[in-house]
Amino acid sequence: MLDGIRVAQDVGFDAIKINTVVKRGVNDDDVLAIAEHFRGTPVTVRFIEFMDVGTTNGWNLDQVVPSAEIIERISAVHPLEPLRPAYRGETANRWRYVDGAGEVGAISSVTEPFCGSCTRARISADGKLFTCLFASRGHDLRALLRDGCTDAELEAALAGIWNARDDRYSELRTADTPTERIEMSYIGG
């Protein structure tokens, strides 16, 4: 895998990001080692809180390692300072090493939901638009296209879906949250 990263860098990629999901009792003891492995390289590791991304991953709130804890662990050895978002709607909070040895990120969708500033939608392989990773259903765009809608009609339908969305799953999540939702792998994570 590292050889693949070096090759990607050699062919002109400016920034390389690696995402790693952190799950208590599974790999949370490796957080510092992972950060140190990529410290001083052009690779930004983004630590993701273990999420309930469907119903098949056996999610339990007790297995979530809060991003704040992850950043504290790294910063205790290699001091970090927060960075501003690189763009509106960025899902990862970013920190840079105070000594300039790179940066790390954290996606805190469980402990610090960002539903209100979310700018993401996904389209499944069968043409359904999902306005949230945790949606229980999608909106059928394929039918619109097959019925011959114009670009303007498609644009109006997309705007209507987006403007009417009320997705707040991550903000409302609790240990007792209903489990009926799409599998993240179905919509491309």
Q: Which SS3 state, helix, strand or coil, does residue 83 take?
A: strand
Q: How far apart are CA 46 and CA 68, in angstroms?
A: 13
Q: How far apart are CA 163 and CA 165, in angstroms?
A: 6
Question: pTM for the full model?
Answer: 0.69
pLDDT-based confidence at residue 111 (cuts at 50, 70, 90): confident
* Percent of the chain whose predicted confidence (pLDDT) is above 90: 50
Segments in 120-168 forming alpha helices (H): 141-146, 151-164
Q: Are strands 43-49 and 16-22 parallel, antiparallel or unpaired?
A: parallel
Average pLDDT, the chain: 82
Q: Using one digit for the tens of pLDDT, what is the confidence trace for 48-76?
A: 998 776 566 667 788 999 999 999 999 99
Largest CA distance in the chain: 59
Residue 177 class from Cβ within 10 Å (0-12 exposed, 13-18 middle, 19+ buried)? middle
The better pLDDT of the pair 154, 10 is held by: 154
Q: Round to the nearest angstrom and report the end-to-end CA distance of the chain.
A: 21
Residue 28 class from Cβ within 10 Å (0-12 exposed, 13-18 middle, 19+ buried)? middle
DSSP state of 187: G
pLDDT at 35 (0 to 100): 98
What token pair was written down for 26?
Answer: 């599974």
DSSP state of 23: B
Q: Beta strands of 98-176 (E only): which ranges?
A: 103-107, 122-123, 128-130, 139-140
